[in-house]
Amino acid sequence: MSVLVNKDTRLLVQGITGGEGTFHTSQILEYGTNVVAGVTPGKGGVLYHGNDKDKFCRPVPVFNTVRDAVEKAEANATVIFVPAAFAADAIMEAADAGLKVIICITEGIPVNDMMKAYAFVQKKGAVLVGPNCPGVITPGEAKIGIMPGFIHKKGTIGVVSRSGTLTYEAVHQLSQVGLGQSTCIGIGGDPIIGTRFIDAIKLFANDDETEGLVMIGEIGGSAEEEAAEYISKYFKKPVVGFIAGRTAPPGRRMGHAGAIVSGGKGTAEDKIHAMEAAGIHVVDSPADLGEAMLKALGR
């Protein structure tokens, strides 16, 4: 099984004709994801053919609006490669068209814009992953995002992470020790994101074929502590964790807008303590994640 995306996902790409959309859609198609439509206002009626040098260029119809793509191509999920100034509107357009899985890759969206988009998505009952994230992949079924598909291996370990790069490292470590992944979710590191750790963990808790979970957090905020509390009470599968930014000085933002320690809260020590108290095996280095999961599974 999997969570959020699978072989039945019919994907729409918002911003498909832009530079990022063109580049990544070709890779998403090459992985085997069922891309059924693209959206670029003003370019409805054209066909997307990927980059000029692409060997893989199955044509994809482009529509002017998300609603048109949903109605005519029966899309049921979307990935957003729209510039930051317009991305919040793209998120709300997708939710308004009835899409229930919205994955936003765009970084740099203004916080005020995201506050409005988040509230709108919640009202519509959709699941938003991101923004500023690598996306979601169910190995062997659907890749929706910018992650390198070849490092993933189908299996039973869920991965949820605030860091895109560390997601790739975790996946590599798991695959190296023979542990495939059920689904990998990069939730993003912005202050306002659609899917928090606790939201993703609930999804994996209800997936019978996810045997264990890798959780990668970082300094700033309280999402890891909230997730640890939920895990201690309700999540009965083994969890291995890592916290990035242990050496960051207070007040210094490290890469992600949400990765900042302020007011004495959100430190690595606080997060590690909460996770260990919840029974999570926290490793000192992401290079140890694979071996730690093997041990947690008793193998």
- Catalytic residues, which ones? 256
Tokens of 281: 């095996």
Burial class, 45, CB count within 10 angstroms (exposed 0-12 / middle 13-18 / buried 19+): exposed
How far CA 101 is from CA of 14, 41, 51, 75, 136, in Å, comes to 13, 21, 26, 10, 10
In the chain, what is the straight-line distance between the N-terminal and C-terminal CA atoms, in Å?
22
The CA distance from 85 to 83, in Å, is 6
DSSP-derived 3-state class of residue 37:
strand
Contact 248, 256 (CB under 8 A): no
Question: Scanning the structure block, which residue is given the tokens 């765009």?
Answer: 106
The CA distance from 196 to 296, in Å, is 24
The CA distance from 224 to 216, in Å, is 9
Contact 208, 153 (CB under 8 A): no
Contact 268, 245 (CB under 8 A): yes
Question: CB atoms < 10 A from the CB of 49, how many?
Answer: 13
Smallest CA-to-CA distance from 215 within 163, 268, 153 is with 163
